[in-house]
């Protein structure tokens, strides 16, 4: 409990700039935003918040955040929310470091990697997403009808999950079970046959 207040400071370097990504208002209801804001303020870190990330993040919104990140030049991307927020932030940690001549979608479709990745961290508010510990992400691109499927840190505070609606909680439990079964039953697949692990 209270792991953000106790541990986040251990992962934030001096003089760093932090770009925090989130979805909607749930981080206000569960206290995560207040805890992150307080901790970063106590550390006197320059912070920018980018929200409005929907479930199953849409490519166009991610590119808007990439533009913000390129301008702000954060030393750390911090995802506060569930799996979709983490997926968005994984993509952005790579895309913000690409040369302007490279289409960021090539990260997922062609395995393009920048020379560096901006470190990212996760403050999870929904249990059992799995995105906080794996290198994959799900990003949708409506314009082309495409959908593609290791943070530096993940802080999981059970207090933030107390306000999750029971339906979402149940869905998360089944999702966690499916991820476990998937890891056991699915054989390894060469990279050229899958784009689900574009951060590895």
Domain boundaries, the chain: 3-193
Contact (Cβ atoms closer than 8 angstroms) between residue 124 and residue 92: no
Residues in the chain, total: 200
pLDDT per position as a tens digit, 87-108: 899 999 999 999 999 999 888 7
Q: How far apart are CA 78 and CA 122, in angstroms?
A: 6
pTM given for the model? 0.77
Name the DSSP class of 15: T
Contact (Cβ atoms closer than 8 angstroms) between residue 3 and residue 157: yes
pLDDT per position as a tens digit, 129-179: 677 766 777 777 777 665 554 566 667 777 777 777 888 778 777 777 776
CATH number of 3-193: 3.40.50.1970
Q: Which of 91, 31, 87, 96 has the alpha carbon at shortest distance from 54?
A: 87
pLDDT per position as a tens digit, 20-71: 999 988 899 899 999 999 999 999 999 999 999 988 888 889 999 999 999 9
Contact (Cβ atoms closer than 8 angstroms) between residue 130 and residue 122: no
The SS3 of residue 162 is helix
């Amino acid at each position: 409990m209270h792991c953000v207040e106790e541990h986040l400071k251990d992962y934030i370097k001096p003089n760093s700039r932090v770009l925090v990504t989130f979805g909607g208002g749930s981080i206000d209801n569960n206290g995560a935003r207040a805890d992150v804001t307080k901790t970063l303020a106590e550390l006197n870190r320059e912070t920018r918040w980018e929200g409005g990330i929907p479930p199953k993040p849409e490519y166009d919104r991610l590119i808007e955040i990439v533009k913000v990140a390129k301008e702000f030049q954060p030393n750390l991307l911090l995802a506060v929310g569930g799996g979709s927020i983490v997926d968005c932030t994984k993509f952005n940690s790579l895309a913000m470091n690409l040369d302007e001549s490279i289409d960021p979608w090539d990260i997922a479709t062609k395995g393009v990697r920048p020379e560096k990745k901006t470190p990212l961290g996760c403050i999870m508010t929904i249990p059992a997403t799995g995105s906080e510990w794996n290198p994959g992400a799900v990003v949708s691109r409506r314009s082309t009808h495409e959908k593609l499927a290791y943070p530096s840190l993940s802080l999981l505070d059970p207090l933030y999950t107390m306000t999750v609606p029971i339906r979402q909680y149940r869905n998360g439990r089944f999702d966690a079970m499916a991820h476990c079964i998937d890891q056991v039953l699915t054989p390894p697949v060469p990279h050229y046959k899958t784009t689900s692990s574009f951060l590895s």
